[in-house]
């Protein structure tokens, strides 16, 4: 009697992502409410729903395209991203907000090319690494050839300036190299070389030091901590265990900065309490667990497994960093919460990342059938051999 097959982890993975998106839609609307009710709340919600429809469509398309398609198109997609990163720096094309030129506006839509770089850089590096072993280049040439895309994309994002995304792109490259099996000693060498570069960035940009000082002050002299950190901790604190009720929070009423984007997790803590924030953490745990089960289906060391593992880790790390900033466990840095924060580019990239993970871990029916036929044939031959021996 055959055993009951285990449920497919893909459905549970998508369910966790869907519930995070649902929580995000609900909280974007709630966090957008102002002290004096206007049509602004409806505008935020309608725009978010428009972004969501576009993002779900893009994620669905990404999931249905084969991994071979993504591997073949990876260089062209990366070159398109580089073109957008250059374009965003040009006057008349890029839009400057709060001293940073990171967006290209197309009507009501805003594209942030540095967000798409997280996807295209991952695809390109995974392709290069899985193919570099069969190339005619020397080991040094292969490494330079692989690291060049990382350097050019990170440099363009740093010019915007966006130090946080620059660091995240470098971390993305590190993840791809790690999952592709690079030796540990090379990570140690690269880390030692990165320390002076990081110190130089802080010297050249003094406001980064002020962020570090503000982070330390949040734990040593709370009254001297940056305003947004103090308001974030206050917002989390007033929620208690059960919260004040959905839509009943008052910190978002002009007290908490970026309530529907970078600090939406704090609004969850105020209105839904510790129970709500822990529920979000549980959903992320489920996404990681079932995503890990999916990734096990991909061949070890393959393009598919490297891409899927990197993108899943990216999503989780971005959520961890956002929660760390909101809870003052990390220095203040504007980074959105995947699936939950308001914003078109972030939501689009997160949904496409989920679609890519599904694409990379999908096993074609013909391959599955041939494997099953092969297993049955092998079992039959083994049984025949045992019968002949007897």
pLDDT, tens only, 214-229: 777 777 777 777 788 8
**pLDDT for the residue 382:** 43
Q: CA triplet 161, 162, 167: central angle to 5 degrees?
A: 135
% of the chain exceeding 70 in pLDDT: 79
Kindly report the three-state secondary structure assignment for every residue of 166-218: HHHHHHHHHHHHHHCCCCHHHHHHHHHHHHHHHHHHHHHCHHHHHHHHHHHHH
Does the pLDDT value for residue 321 go beyond 80? yes
The answer to whether 243 and 271 have CB atoms below 8 angstroms apart is yes
Does the pLDDT value for residue 281 go beyond 80? yes
Summary mean pLDDT of the chain: 82
For 112-116, 212-216, 235-239, 250-254, which range has the lowest pLDDT when averaged over its residues?
212-216
C-alpha 119/C-alpha 102 separation (Å) is: 17
Listed residue (163, 162, 156) closest to 121, CA to CA: 156
Higher pLDDT, 85 or 132: 85
**pLDDT for the residue 28:** 87
The answer to whether 223 and 257 have CB atoms below 8 angstroms apart is no
Most confidently modeled range among 95-104, 172-181, 318-327: 318-327
Does the pLDDT value for residue 167 go beyond 80? yes
228-233, long-range: CB within 8 Å, 24+ apart, which pairs?
228/256, 228/257, 228/258, 228/263, 228/332, 229/328, 229/332, 231/255, 231/256, 231/257, 231/263, 231/266, 232/256, 232/263, 232/266, 232/325, 232/326, 232/327, 232/328, 233/327, 233/328
For residues 184-192, average pLDDT: 73
Higher pLDDT, 224 or 347: 347
Q: Note if the pTM is more than 0.95.
A: no
For 127-131, 138-142, 155-159, 260-264, which range has the lowest pLDDT when averaged over its residues?
138-142
Does the pLDDT value for residue 323 go beyond 90? yes
C-alpha 275/C-alpha 233 separation (Å) is: 16
For residues 128-153, average pLDDT: 76
At residue 352 the predicted structure's pLDDT band, cuts being 50, 70 and 90, is very high
């Amino acid at each position: 009697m055959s055993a009951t097959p285990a449920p497919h982890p893909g459905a549970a993975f998508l369910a966790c992502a869907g519930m995070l998106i649902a929580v995000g839609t609900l909280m974007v609307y709630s966090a957008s409410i102002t002290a004096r009710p206007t049509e602004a709340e409806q505008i935020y919600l309608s725009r978010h729903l428009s972004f969501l429809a576009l993002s779900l469509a893009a994620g669905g398309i990404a999931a249905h395209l084969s991994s071979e398609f993504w591997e073949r198109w990876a260089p062209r997609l990366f070159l398109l991203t580089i073109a957008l990163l250059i374009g965003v720096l040009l006057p008349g094309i890029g839009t400057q907000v709060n001293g940073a030129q990171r967006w290209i506006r197309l009507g009501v839509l805003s594209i942030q090319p540095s967000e798409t770089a997280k996807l295209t850089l991952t695809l390109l590096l995974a392709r290069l690494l899985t193919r570099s072993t069969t190339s005619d280049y020397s080991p040094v040439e292969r490494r330079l050839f692989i690291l060049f895309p990382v350097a050019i994309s990170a440099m363009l994002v740093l010019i915007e300036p966006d130090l946080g995304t620059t660091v995240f792109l470098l971390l993305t490259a590190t993840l791809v190299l790690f999952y592709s099996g690079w030796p540990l000693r090379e990570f140690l060498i690269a880390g030692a070389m990165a320390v002076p570069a990081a110190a130089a960035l802080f010297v050249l940009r003094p406001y980064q030091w002020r962020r570090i000082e503000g982070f330390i002050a949040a734990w040593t002299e709370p009254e001297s901590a940056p305003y947004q950190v103090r308001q974030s901790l206050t917002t989390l604190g007033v929620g208690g265990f059960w919260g004040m009720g959905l839509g009943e929070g008052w910190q978002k009423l002009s007290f908490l900065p970026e309530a529907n984007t970078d600090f939406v997790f704090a609004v969850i803590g105020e209105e839904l309490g510790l129970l709500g924030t822990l529920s979000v953490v549980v959903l992320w745990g489920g996404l990681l667990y079932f995503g890990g089960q999916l990734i096990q289906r991909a061949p070890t060391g393959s393009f598919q497994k490297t891409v899927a593992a990197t993108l899943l880790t990216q999503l989780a790390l971005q959520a961890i960093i956002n929660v760390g900033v909101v809870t003052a466990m990390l220095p203040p840095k504007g980074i959105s919460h995947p699936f939950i924060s308001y914003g078109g580019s972030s939501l689009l990239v997160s949904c496409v990342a989920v679609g890519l993970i599904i694409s990379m871990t999908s096993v074609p029916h013909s391959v599955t059938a041939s494997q099953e036929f092969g297993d049955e044939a092998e079992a039959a031959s083994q049984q025949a051999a045992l019968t002949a021996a007897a």
